[in-house]
Amino acid sequence: MRQTARLGRLAGIPIGVHWSVLVIMLLLVQGLASVILPGGARGYPAAVYWGVAVIVAVLFLAALLAHELAHALVARHYGVRVRAITLWLLGGVSELDGEAPHARADLLIALAGPVVSLVGAGVFAAAAAGASASGAGPLAVTGLGWLAVVNAILGVFNLLPGAPLDGGRVLAAVLWWVRGDRAGARRAAGRAGTVLGGLLIAAGLVEVLLAANFGGLWLVVLGWFLALSAHAETTHVMLRKALAGVRVGDVMTTPAVCGYTSQSIADFVATVARRHPHRVFPVLDLDGRLVGLVSINRLAKVPRTDRERVRLGEVSAPVDRAHVLDPAAPLIDTAPALLAGGHRLAPVVTDGRLTGIMTSGDVARATELAELGITPDRGGGAATTSGSHAPADPAR
């Protein structure tokens, strides 16, 4: 997940937040200041409730960060590199670069976060009890008690057995330990996560429709997110197994469909864009070097009367904005992004020259062939399919 703002580093790990954290912060502060704190501690001015609510919300985000940091530190202990930790609307994400070396490590990495959340719940509960015993006032007791309850819920909820929750990773680690099949264990956790997401959606809809409680919409949103994430994880596991050892050059479409900087928009649309299914096309200079990309949407913004005059080189996006691939790169590192993009296209380049193009269709075909036990091999342009076309003539 892309960070909107970088907060710094903890234990050498980059820490950041996604813009959606602002949404959850506003909702938390509003709920605490308007409902939770006044309900547990009456008689304070509104400004006091709002001030304490901000402090409690910040402590809650700190608890989320501690949860993710626990995952990250245990992962690093077992040799797994941690790229970053990002806090967002529905919690936090520890971006791990690599796999746990064995099932025991996978289990401990997964358990670390919920354990820290449950320990945090105990610490906040003890602090609330201490505040009450010392006469610190009902406002402090209410805030600390809320933090204890929320951390307990966070720890228990994350232990539910379905990916992408920590409990799903615990389930996958246990199944891997028992069966010795990492990929199969992760597929099972992904299926469990899909079922769990569906149950949460159903529970939310029941709450909305039968109890007329629109708070159930949060369950619907959460269930929808879990189901989508579980499906994505299952797909990634299947891709990694099916595409192991396959390179971008084995799968790319070649020769590539492309345009040229000197070609008019009208000619390019008539001879290339209208005949091929892509929405984005590479643009080459007259020496055959990749200089940019052009989309149909971008071409459509040029007035019809100017399309004979305007050249592709004038409207193409610079190549430094493109996701350029190396034919020797492992396909599994590229496949998820292309599949998620639907009609995404990425140029494949060697020494600045266009070697081919990669689309989600190329990835899907390679996956289907791999499932048949066939290794795709279209590197070097020796073979083509009905989706491969020769470059446009630059003289046109």
**DSSP state, residue 378:** -
- Decide: 115 and 69 in contact? Cβ < 8 Å: no
Q: Which amino acid is at 46?
A: A
**Buried b vs exposed e over 346-356: b needs ≥16 C-beta within 10 Å?**
bbbbeeeebbb
d(CA 164, CA 386): 38
- Please indicate whether residue 68 is annotated as part of the active site: yes
Catalytic residue among 68, 233, 308, 371: 68
Q: What angle do the packed helices 216-242 and 182-211 form, to 10 degrees? A: 160
The H or E element spanning position 312 is: helix 312-315
Distance, first Cα to last Cα, the chain: 44
- Which residues 6+ apart lie within 8 Å of 304 measured at CB? none
> Can you spell out the DSSP letters for 163-207?
TTSHHHHHHHHHHHHHHS-HHHHHHHHHHHHHHHHHHHHHHHHHH
- Decide: 171 and 161 in contact? Cβ < 8 Å: yes
Reported for 156-161, long-range contacts at CB under 8 A and 24+ positions apart, including other chains, are 156/114, 156/118, 158/67, 158/113, 158/114, 158/117, 159/114, 160/196, 161/189, 161/192, 161/196
- Which residues 6+ apart lie within 8 Å of 106 measured at CB? 100, 169, 172, 173, 176
Tokens for 36?
Answer: 């939770």
Torsion (CA) 229, 234, 238, 244 in degrees, nearest 10: 60
- Decide: 92 and 86 in contact? Cβ < 8 Å: yes
- Decide: 247 and 334 in contact? Cβ < 8 Å: no
- Decide: 284 and 260 in contact? Cβ < 8 Å: yes
How many CB atoms sit inside 10 A of residue 309's CB? Answer: 11
**Which residues participate in catalysis according to the annotation?**
68
